[in-house]
Amino acid sequence: MPLNVVDHPLAQHLLAGLRDKSTPPEVFRRLSWNLTTMLVIEATRAIRSELRSIVTPIKTTSGQILTEGLAVVPVLRAGLGMLEPVVQMFPDVAVGYIGLERNEDTAVARSYYSKLPDLSNRYTLCVDPMLATGGSAAQAVSLIKGHGAKTVVMVCVVAAPEGVDRLETSHPGIHIYTAALDEGLNEKHYIVPGLGDFGDRLYGTF
């Protein structure tokens, strides 16, 4: 199923805190960290692993070991709020960066930075908390595929149906992991009910 809504009660509890406009940046950052952890655990379910022999203090058994490299690409700036939990969970992860900024009037995203490693042998996560019109995510995934990635999974906190449609049209079959599929977009291209401007709330730049 390409669209996966992580509906675990703890994920939904964390999302409720992120949506609450009275949540200050310090708490917002912690909630983002914890929710990203839950989303990424689900988003990496399909990463390759194999059974290997393990010797416990009691006897020999088998254990599942990850055999596929992981890469994560946060979309600046808001995606940075989702990077560190991935690095903590997957210490061998390769990190690339993409800088995109939406025009405030048109919502068309402009690319201002890109630094990506070779992604050809890595299961690649693109992390950006807000999938609104989908323009930023579609551009980011194109850049990621341009660096060789064959498996790209989009991880976001909140998605709008418009963004999901746009991303699926641009990149058919892409898997999306999110904590919520919201109602839609308002006239300023913000997600409704959403949580406001994620980057501003993460970094206190209101």
Q: What residues act catalytically? A: 102, 106, 197, 200
Phi, psi of 64 (to 5 degrees): -85, 125
Stretch that binds ligand URA, among 10-18, 24-32, 149-157, 193-201 (CB under 6 A): 193-201
Q: Are 1 and 177 in contact (CB under 8 A)?
A: no
Query: Residue from 33, 97, 190, 203 that binds ligand URA (CB under 6 A)?
Result: 190
Is 135 an interacting residue with respect to ligand PRP (CB under 6 A)?
Answer: yes
Query: Residue from 35, 176, 198, 202 that binds ligand URA (CB under 6 A)?
Result: 198
Alpha helices in 159-197 (DSSP H): 161-170
* Closest distance to ligand PRP from the beta carbon of 65 (Å): 34
Q: Are 185 and 132 in contact (CB under 8 A)?
A: yes
Is 189 an interacting residue with respect to ligand PRP (CB under 6 A)?
Answer: yes
- Tell me the two tokens of residue 43: 């988003």
Name which of ligand URA, ligand PRP, none residue 101 binds, using a CB cut-off of 5 to 8 Å depending on partner kind.
ligand PRP
Query: Residue from 134, 152, 155, 182 that binds ligand PRP (CB under 6 A)?
Result: 134
Beta strands 180-181; 60-66: pairing state:
unpaired
The half-sphere exposure of 177 on its side-chain side, counting CA atoms within 13 A, is: 23
